[in-house]
Amino acid sequence: MATTSPHQTQSVFQALADPSRREILRLLRQGEMTAGDIAAHFDFSRASLSHHLNLLLQAELVRVRKDGQRRIYSLNTSLFEDLLGFVFRFIEGSSD
C-alpha cells in the first residue's frame, strides 16, 4: 500500500468525522454509484450530498467519473480498502 502525503491528513480525518460521510463510504464499498443512487439512501437534499461528496473527493477517499449527465462515484480503494476496512472492522465492528 502506498504511503500518502501528510498534507491531506486533516482533510481525511475531517471527512471521516461526519456519520453521513462514513455511511457514503460504506455504501460505496459495495460498488460504484451515481450521485442520485447515493442520495436515495439519505434524507438530506442533493445539494447537501454534493457537499459531502466534495469533501470526500478532497480527502481523496472517493473518485468520480462522468457518464452522460450522471456522475459516478467510487471508492479510492488504494487508500480506503486498507485504512477504512481496518477502521470499520475494529472500531465499528460492522464492516462487510
Partner DNA sequence: TAGATATTTAGCATATCATCTAAATATGGC
Partner DNA sequence: GCCATATTTAGATGATATGCTAAATATCTA
Q: Name the β-bridge partners of 73.
A: 33, 64
Site residues (CB under 8 A) for its own copies, limited to 19-78:
19, 22
Of 5, 47, 90, 96, the residue at the interface with DNA (CB under 7 A) is: 47
Task: Using the minimum distance from each CB to its own copies, give the nearer residue, 20 or 74.
Answer: 20
Distance between CA atoms of 55 and 26, rounded to whole angstroms? Answer: 15
H runs (alpha helix) in the chain: 9-16, 19-28, 35-39, 46-58, 77-87
Residues that bind DNA (rule: CB under 7 A) add up to a total of 28
The residues binding DNA (CB under 7 A) are 14, 17-18, 20-21, 34-36, 39, 43-55, 64, 66, 68-71
